Amino acid sequence: MTNDIQKTNDTKKTHPTKKANMAKATDRPHHSSFKDPVLANPDVLILGAGASGLFCALTAARRGRKVVLVDASDTTGRKLRASGGGRCNCTNLDATPGHYLSANPRFTAKALQRFTSGNFLDVLASLGLTASEEDQGRMFCDQGATVLADALEAACRKAGARFLLDRHVTGIAANVIPSEATGQGGFRVETDGGPLVAPRVVLALGSPAWPALGGTDAVARLAGSLGLAHVPSRPALTPFTFNGPILCLCRELTGLGVTARVTCLGKAYTDGLLFTHQGLSGPVALQISSHWRRGEALTIDLAPGADLRQVLRDPTRGKALARTLVASVLPRRLAEALLKGLPPEVIAASEKRSAELSKAHIEALAEAVHAWRVLPSGTAGMARAEAASGGLDTAQFSPKTFECRALPGLYAIGEALDVAGELGGYNLHWAWASGFVAGQVL
C-alpha cells in the first residue's frame, strides 16, 4: 500500500526517532489536505479498528466504499489479538440470541440470522485460515488470534480501506455537511490529530472492559455529546474476589481447578472453576459474573457429576470414613479445605463411618459439596473483564442496519451497543455479525 498513512506507520516501526516529524507530515489538521483521495473524502469513518470495526470496514470496502478506520492504538485489533489467550475463540456454532445479555434480548436476532457461524467460517477460509471445534460449539482459529487479526487488516488494506492509527477521538458533531449535497447531515469527528468529516460514521469503539488493551468509556462520552441514551457499563466475564475465610480457602487452593455448576439469580452454568489468590475464576465464574449483583450469594455444586448423598448412603461403603468418601468425589485438597470450614459438629461427623451418619449429617455434608454458598466481596472489575454489559441503548438503532434512528448516517456495532455475549466465542461473533450487517448498508 502506498498511501501516506501506510508510509507513516511503516516508518514508525523501523525509525522511532522520526515519529514526531513523520506524524506532522501525515496527521494534518483537516482531512481535505490529505493527498490520498480516500483519506481526503471518505464515504465512511469507522471509529475503532477492533474486531467489529475491521469486519465492517472489510465488508464496506469490498462493496466499493471509501473507508477510513480511526484508532487510538498503533496496532489494530488489540483485544482480538489477545482473545482466548491468543488462541482466538472466534465464533460459536450456537450463536443465537439466547447467549446475549441486553435490555432488548431480541435486538441481536436479525443480525445473527443474516450472519451465522457458518458464514464466518467461510470468510475465515477465504483468508486462508481454518478453525477447529472444541467443547460447547466453541470454534478456535487454528492459526491463532494474531494471524487472524493480521489477515483481517491485510484484507481491509487490499480492499482499499485506509487506517489512521495513533488517533484519539475527542468529540463528534452531527449535521455539519449541507443536506442538499449528501442527503444527510454528515459528521465532524474531532481527533488529537485534527478534525475529520464524512457523511457516515460508525461507532466501533468497544467498551471500558480490558483497559490494558485499549478499553475506554469513549462511547459513553460521545453518546452524551450526540444526545444518545447510554446504558451504564458493568464488567462482564470477570473473576470474583472474596474476603475473610473464603479468601483464605481460595489462597490455600490457588491453582486448583474443578468442573462446577454455579447458580445465581436464576442463571446457572457448568464449566471449569479455578481457585486463585484473589478468589474464584475460570470459565464458569466468568459466565455467572455477568449476571451477579453485589450482595448476592453464589451457590456452587463442586461435583455436578456425582451424588454425595448416594455415596454416603451406599451400604457397600458403610465402613468408609465420611471424609474419605467426600474426597472420592472431590480433589483431596479441596475436600480437606472444605471440611475445615464446616461447623464443628459436621467436622466431627466426617470422622465417622458413613453407616454411622445421621440423615442430618449426610445432608450437611452433601450441601457443603453440592450447594456450597459463598458471598463475593466483588469482582476484579473492568481491569480484568473480557467484556462489558451496557452501552448505547439499542432502542435508538435499527436491528436491520444498525443505523441510528434519530441521526441518519450514524451507526453503532459490536460492544458499543448494549449487547454482551456469554463466554465461548459469542462476543467475537457479535462483532462479525454486527460489522457485516452495517457494512452491507453503508
Tell me the average pLDDT across 150-166.
Answer: 98
pLDDT tens-place string over residues 319-363: 999 999 999 999 999 999 999 999 999 999 999 999 999 999 999
Pick the CATH number of 4-235+387-441 from 2.160.10.10, 3.50.50.60, 3.10.580.10, 3.30.70.100: 3.50.50.60
Instruction: Give the residue among 340, 249, 365, 246 at the shortest CA–CA distance from 298.
Output: 246
The whole-model pTM stands at 0.89
Residue with cell string 454411622:
356
pLDDT at position 33 = 60
pLDDT tens-place string over residues 291-315: 999 999 999 999 999 999 999 999 9
β-bridge pairing 67-70 and 162-164? parallel
What fold, for 240-379? Elongation Factor Tu (Ef-tu); domain 3 (2.40.30)
pLDDT score of 80 more than 90: yes
pLDDT at position 35 = 83
SS3 254: coil
Query: Residue 32's pLDDT band (boundaries 50, 70, 90)?
Result: low
Please give the Cα distance from 309 to 174 (Å, whole number). Answer: 65
Please give the Cα distance from 415 to 421 (Å, whole number). Answer: 9
Domain range list for the chain: 4-235+387-441, 240-379
Query: Residue 1's pLDDT band (boundaries 50, 70, 90)?
Result: very low
- Are the C-beta atoms of residues 238 and 386 closer than 8 Å to each other? yes
Percent of the chain residues topping a pLDDT of 90? 88
Between 203 and 8, the more confident residue is 203
pLDDT score of 420 more than 90: yes
